[in-house]
């Protein structure tokens, strides 16, 4: 639902304010019609079907206000969407990682991206936007060069550009360990040796090894959008019991605002150590309707 509209509950009988003309929407927004507060002022109920829902236009002074930085800097034509990542996204992920993490020691290697996206891409989520090549004003992102033409093959040659990613694996520990951040040497062999390193399919903790937003798009809410989309995917899915990650002290409050708990200093020594353990408890698996 658009943010500048709010739905009147059926039990709300208060008359609409004169400054808020009422519109009736059918089930399809394409059939929307506007007009007086009732199709027949003499009979307010007439013409109002079960399918119709009543909306009130919110006066401008009550509109949702985006964060000032967001509204002034985010390109108006940016329509972000998320999807799980696959190994075919590796070049964009590497470009994003290298641009987002200033300290090379904190970046995941290309090999780790290939490993994680191959083994458990379903745990990794990307936030993309569609860009028309040579658009004006020009679109700039470190991931533009590796963007792929979108599936519909539009004549304009639109490409899908990665702006943010979450890269994750599962572990049997409750927190991030150096073992979970590593990978088995022979992981791509036909019969790899069982190893405690890297992704553990039976693990109940999803460890987020990389959360990154492309520079130029940071501080506009995209990181939060991606994290909340991730919560939406994983909460109640039964895939794991918790999310875990490590962060430096200046990033801890960003995760706490999203609902993570700070469990204190981490034992992980990746990238020189000095990390804090953050954990987010996932909602348990929802009971699903049974069919057949």
Ligand X SMILES: CC(C)(COP(=O)(O)OP(=O)(O)OC[C@H]1O[C@@H](n2cnc3c(N)ncnc32)[C@H](O)[C@@H]1OP(=O)(O)O)[C@@H](O)C(=O)NCCC(=O)NCCS
Binding residues for ligand X, rule: CB under 6 A, are: 67, 100-101, 211-213, 218-224, 247, 250-251, 253-254
| Residue whose tokens read 């791509």 | 188
Residue 101 vs 187, nearer CB to ligand X: 101
Helix (H) / strand (E) element for 211: namely strand 205-213
For 187, the 3-state DSSP assignment is coil
The count of other CB atoms within 10 Å of the CB of residue 53 is: 15
Residue among 277, 256, 279 at smallest CA distance from 267: 277
Shortest spacing between CB 265 and ligand X, in angstroms: 15
Helix (H) / strand (E) element for 226: namely helix 222-234
CA distance 203 to 171: 4
Shortest spacing between CB 247 and ligand X, in angstroms: 4
Residue among 28, 245, 221, 257 at smallest CA distance from 127: 221
Residue 24 vs 165, nearer CB to ligand X: 165
Shortest spacing between CB 135 and ligand X, in angstroms: 22
Shortest spacing between CB 229 and ligand X, in angstroms: 12
CA distance 15 to 22: 10
Residue 184 vs 221, nearer CB to ligand X: 221
Helix (H) / strand (E) element for 249: namely helix 249-257
Shortest spacing between CB 240 and ligand X, in angstroms: 19
Residue 101 vs 231, nearer CB to ligand X: 101
CA dihedral 239→240→243→246, nearest 10 degrees, is -110
CA distance 151 to 129: 13
Nearest residue relative to ligand X (C-beta): 223
CA distance 126 to 217: 14
Shortest spacing between CB 220 and ligand X, in angstroms: 5
């Amino acid at each position: 639902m658009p943010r500048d509209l709010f739905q009147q509950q059926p039990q709300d009988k208060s008359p609409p304010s004169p400054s808020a003309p009422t519109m009736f929407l059918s089930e399809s927004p394409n059939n929307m019609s506007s007009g007086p507060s009732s199709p027949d002022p003499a009979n307010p109920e007439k013409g109002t079907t079960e399918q119709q829902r009543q909306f009130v236009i919110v006066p401008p002074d009550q509109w949702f206000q985006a964060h000032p930085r967001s509204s002034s800097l985010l390109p108006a034509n940016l329509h972000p969407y998320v999807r799980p990542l696959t190994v075919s996204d590796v070049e964009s992920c590497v470009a994003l990682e290298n641009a987002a993490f200033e300290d090379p020691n904190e970046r995941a290697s290309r090999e780790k991206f290939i490993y994680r996206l191959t083994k458990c891409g379903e745990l990794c989520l990307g936030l993309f936007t569609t860009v028309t090549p040579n658009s004006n004003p020009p679109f700039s992102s470190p991931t533009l060069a590796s963007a792929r033409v979108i599936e519909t093959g539009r004549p304009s040659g639109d490409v899908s550009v990665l702006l943010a990613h979450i890269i994750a694996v599962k572990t049997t520990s409750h927190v991030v360990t150096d073992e979970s951040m590593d990978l088995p040497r022979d992981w791509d062999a036909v019969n790899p040796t069982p190893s405690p390193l890297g992704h553990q399919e039976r693990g109940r903790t999803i460890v987020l090894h990389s959360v990154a937003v492309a520079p130029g798009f940071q501080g506009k809410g995209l990181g939060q959008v991606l994290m909340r989309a991730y919560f939406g995917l994983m909460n109640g899915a039964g895939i794991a019991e918790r999310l875990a990650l490590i962060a430096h002290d200046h990033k801890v409050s960003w995760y706490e605002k999203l609902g993570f708990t700070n469990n204190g200093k981490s034992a992980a020594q990746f990238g020189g150590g000095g990390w804090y353990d953050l954990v987010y408890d996932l909602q348990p698996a929802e009971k699903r309707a049974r069919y057949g």
